[in-house]
Structure 1
Amino acid sequence: MDERGDVSDVDPSPPPSAATVFGDRLDLAVRYRDMLATAGIERGLIGPREVPRLWDRHIVNCAVLGEAIAESSSVVDIGSGAGLPGIPLAIARPDLTVTLVEPLLRRATFLEEAIADLGIDVRVIRGRAEEKAVRSAIDPADVVTSRAVAPLERLAGWSTPLIRVGGRLVAIKGSSAQDEIERDRVSAAKVGLAELSVVVCGEEVLEVPTTLIVGVKQAGFELKSRRKRGGTAGVAATSDTSDKKFRR
């Protein structure tokens, strides 16, 4: 790959880790990788320099998230971007019911096209997780996930209203995950997210495993919110997500 982002000489072949994670659905993962390496770059969803790292840093890195999710769970991926982690997760785990939430039209359009091309049963909702219309359109999920969306304090406020009581936040984070927990534990508890911990996935297949922050939605939070807000359940998020600069 040269300085202009020419990726014609990049080997697109899936590594052994992809074959292990995706099994007999590897062909779908290959097609998704090819979409990211072409349309994903053309539409500004993936940087050209990420192409050599699509498999291990993006696709397999996201798919191993399934290690932390129970069978037949409902999953909502907020700020899905180019479909990470939701699409790799749906390919690797067809038993899951996956919904992608993405506010930007060009990204949501790409997601719809990718899902149709892959023939996978995934729903796309255009909007922000904190919007009332989005929350009304989604049944409380077993798991809400995300990658590179926001610090834990804001992420908890956006995610927790979408999680059923006893369900979990399962967010892909980096090496600072434990520091985020220590810094934002109290803020997360205020919106009903507790039992925070760091979980590592993909240790057997990835050179750099995927690090997660996992938290549990607490019972009684909606009841407290109704009393405090005069009948309105959930959390009203006031943070503006328009400043998100993460590129998936």
Structure 2
Amino acid sequence: MYDYYLGGKDHFEADRIRADEAIAADPTLVTLIRENRAFLGRAVRYLAAQGIDQFLDVGTGLPTQQSVHQIAHGMNPDARVVYVDYDGQVVAHGRALLADAPGTKMIQGDLRRPREILDHPEVRRLLDFDKPVAVLTVATLHFVPDEDDPQAIMAEFRDALAPGSHLVLTHASADGVPDVVAKVVEVYKKTSAPGTPRTSEQVTNLFGDFELLEPGLVWAPLWRPDHPVGMEEAKRVWFYAGVGRKA
């Protein structure tokens, strides 16, 4: 569905059907998804400029449409990227797409089991956790229900990271346009990944004791935008976005 929103070609008819239902519920949804992707690009470029050259992208989906390795390698050809996804079919397709991408791997893993991801042989081979790593959970944690304890999940990732590491995160919220979000949530209940929007406070807590970089947790278009963005325009993009740094 995400690839379909982005205008890609790597999706199935079932994805298109549900995505079109979601767009009918919120006609600005395509803009929202593309703003989320634009934030990812800005965050990766910022981190690469700070010297971060290791990225663990958890819940990536298909690595198409200006993905992390494309952006990071554009600034540092030696950057290393590991993508993680739960869906075996996505992983198989993703590995084919990445066959010629140096310093890049895709593994199958479940965000709800961080230790299995962190201890995966390919992750350990490519990433050095004694040095700073950027962990990205972009548009993924709202698919983790409260009963799976997203706070504990993110604590395990944070605890595994060296000082100077970063956490890049976006998350759906009902704080901005709750009526619209509720309609989209109803559509996603028909998919394999129903969503749980969360408040600003709940999303901030996912960063734990990491220092939120300026401008803090904001609507995605407001995180270090490339051009001026008005608050009302930004609020319609009902994804919070932030980048935290481990001291």
TM band (smaller chain): 0.5 to 0.7
Output the CA distance in 2 between the equivalents of 1:36 and 1:110.
17
Q: Is the 8 A contact 2:58 2:83 kept in 1?
A: yes
| Residue of structure 2 equivalent to 1:132 | 115
Is 1:88 matched up with 2:53?
Answer: no
Q: Which of 210, 213, 222 is 1:194 aligned to? A: 210
The structure with the larger Rg is 1
Residues 123-176 of structure 1: CA distance to partner in whole angstroms, max 9, x if unpaired? 112112434332123332521111122256355235314422331111124565
Name stretches of at least 5 consecutive residues in structure 2 with no aligned partner. 24-28, 143-149, 177-197
Output the CA distance in 2 between the equivalents of 1:213 and 1:161.
18
Please provide the CA RMSD for this pair: 4.2
Q: How does 1:4-23 map to 2 (within 5 A)?
A: none
Task: Tell me the amino acid that sits aligned with residue 88 of structure 1.
Answer: S
| Residue of structure 1 equivalent to 2:170 | 172
Q: Is the 8 A contact 2:136 2:168 kept in 1?
A: yes
Q: How does 1:29-68 map to 2 (within 5 A)?
A: 37-42=8-13, 44=15, 49=20, 56-57=34-35, 59-68=37-46
Q: Is the 8 A contact 2:82 2:105 kept in 1?
A: yes
Task: Tell me the amino acid that sits aligned with residue 111 of structure 1.
Answer: G
| Residue of structure 1 equivalent to 2:84 | 101
Q: Is the 8 A contact 1:45 1:81 kept in 2?
A: no
Q: Which of 201, 204, 208 is 1:182 aligned to? A: 201
Q: Which one scores higher on RCO, CA 8 angstroms, separation ≥ 6?
A: 2
* Corresponding residue SS for 1:40: coil
What is the CA-CA distance between 1:100 and the residue it aligns to? 0.7
Identity %: 15
| Residue of structure 2 equivalent to 1:29 | none
Output the CA distance in 1 between the equivalents of 2:139 and 2:68.
16
Task: Tell me the amino acid that sits aligned with residue 136 of structure 1.
Answer: D
Name stretches of at least 5 consecutive residues in structure 1 with no aligned partner. 6-31, 219-248
Output the CA distance in 2 between the equivalents of 1:205 and 1:123.
36
Q: Which of 100, 105, 111 is 1:123 aligned to? A: 105
Is 1:149 matched up with 2:140?
Answer: yes
* Corresponding residue SS for 1:202: coil
When residues 62 and 120 of structure 1 are mapped into structure 2, their CA distance, relative to the original with a 3 A threshold, is farther
Residues 195-220 of structure 1: CA distance to partner in whole angstroms, max 9, x if unpaired? 233260333298858852222335xx
**Larger % of strand: which?**
1
Residues 103-141 of structure 1: CA distance to partner in whole angstroms, max 9, x if unpaired? 220121122122226x45421121124343321233325
Q: Is the 8 A contact 2:167 2:243 kept in 1?
A: yes
* Corresponding residue SS for 1:201: coil
